[in-house]
Amino acid sequence: MTTNPILEIRNLHKHYGDVEVLKGVDCSMQRGDVVCVIGSSGSGKTTMLRCINMLEEFSDGSIRIDGEDIGYELRDGRRQRKSEKEVARQRALTGMAFQQFNLFPHMSAAENVMLGLVKVKKMTRDEARAVAEKWLDRVGLLSRRDHYPGQLSGGQQQRVAIARAIAMSPRLMLFDEVTSALDPELVNEVLVVIQDLAREGMTMLLVTHEMRFAFEVSTRVIFMNQGRIGEEGDPKEMFLRPKSERLAEFLKNSSFH
């Protein structure tokens, strides 16, 4: 190991009642990595992503960001959940873009981006506005800064949502199937934004069904299968010469050719 990993997941377990969704996932990322997680639905890829920022509680194992344990700590030899305030602070270490965008409908595009800057980063409104405008410009929507989500197309909403997450300067960006809810002709404008961010060295973990995109953009691909990492490695290797039967079958059934 050369440098400390930005993300280190060890033996991650998660179950809903009797159903075990994650059965021991180990994974780590270095700064600047762009990792795509692929796999069929129900394989646990979204759940794993959501555990990283504690949108899901997990039952066992550990997640570390820059060496800091997320969500839980050992106190008197017992695993205990950290305080709500501490968890909120840790959530801001990562940024997340959602499948359904989840913009705040009662705020303009600029206000959506500014909210976290003002409330969490404690910037003044003027500082926050400047940062928001910089990032809205980056995703090509500066002219729409005063528009409300209901006045924007799906692709535009998703770009605002990405700007909102990135403006918080997270150490790691999480993308949860960000193009799945978009009309086909709007997918590309969002992928272009993500691709630019990747090129600039942003550390990103993406759950995606866009195989072509995963193939071209990622530095590494993780194939999840039934709550475990089925296969992981260089995208070219994996897509062109899958080692496992499962992955070969998955690739054959998905849109990648």
Partner 1 sequence: MDFSFAQFLHELWIARVPLLQGVGITIASAALAIVAGTVLGVFVGLALTYGAAPLRLPMRGYTDFIRGTPVLVLVLASYYILGTAGIQLGPFQAGVLALAVFCSSHVGEIVRGALQAIHKGQIEAAKAIGLTFSQTFVSVLMPQAIRQILPTWVNTAAEMVKASTLLSIIGVGDLLLASQEVISRTFMNMPFYLFAGFLYFAINFGIERFGRFVERKTHIPS
Would you list the DSSP string of 87-121? HHHHHTTEEEE-TT----TTS-HHHHHHHHHHHTS
What b-and-e string marks burial along 233-256, b requiring 16 or more CB atoms within 10 Å of the CB? eebeebbeebeeebbeebbeebeb
168 touches partner 1 (CB under 8 A): yes
- 141 makes contact with partner 1 (CB under 8 A): no
Q: Diameter of the chain by CA atoms?
A: 55
Q: How many residues bind partner 1 (CB under 8 A)?
A: 31
16 binds partner 1 (CB under 8 A): no
Whole-number Å distance between alpha carbons of 19 and 71? 22
Stretch that binds partner 1, among 21-29, 135-143, 158-166, 204-212 (CB under 8 A): 158-166
Query: Binding of partner 1 at residue 203 (CB under 8 A)?
Result: no
Q: Is residue 122 involved in binding partner 1 (CB under 8 A)?
A: no
104 lines the binding site for partner 1 (CB under 8 A): yes
For partner 1, the closer CB: 7 or 251: 7
Instruction: Round to whole Å and give the CA distance between 111 and 108.
Output: 5
Question: Which listed range, 28-36, 68-76, 80-88, 205-213, lies at the site for partner 1 (CB under 8 A)?
Answer: 80-88
Contact letters for partner 1, residues 46-75 (x by CB under 8 A): -------xxx--------------------
Under 8 Å between Cβ of 32 and 68: no
Q: Does 120 bind partner 1 (CB under 8 A)?
A: yes
Can you read off the two tokens belonging to residue 170? 């997270």
∠ CA 255-256-257 to the nearest 5 degrees?
115
Provide the token pair at 194. Answer: 């993500």
Residue 71: which residues within 8 A CB-CB, separation 6 or more?
A: 51, 54, 57, 58, 63, 81, 82, 87, 90
Where does this chain touch partner 1 (CB under 8 A) — which range of 29-37, 94-102, 122-130, 233-241? 94-102
Closest separation in Å from C-beta 19 to partner 1 = 20
CB of 13 to partner 1, least distance (A): 22
Q: How many residues does the chain have?
A: 257
Residue 42 or 105 with smaller CB distance to partner 1: 105
Which residue number, 98 or 213, has a Cβ lying nearer to partner 1? 98
Could you list the residues that contact partner 1 (CB under 8 A)?
A: 53-55, 84-85, 88-89, 91-92, 94-96, 98, 100, 102-106, 115-116, 119-120, 148-151, 161, 164-165, 168
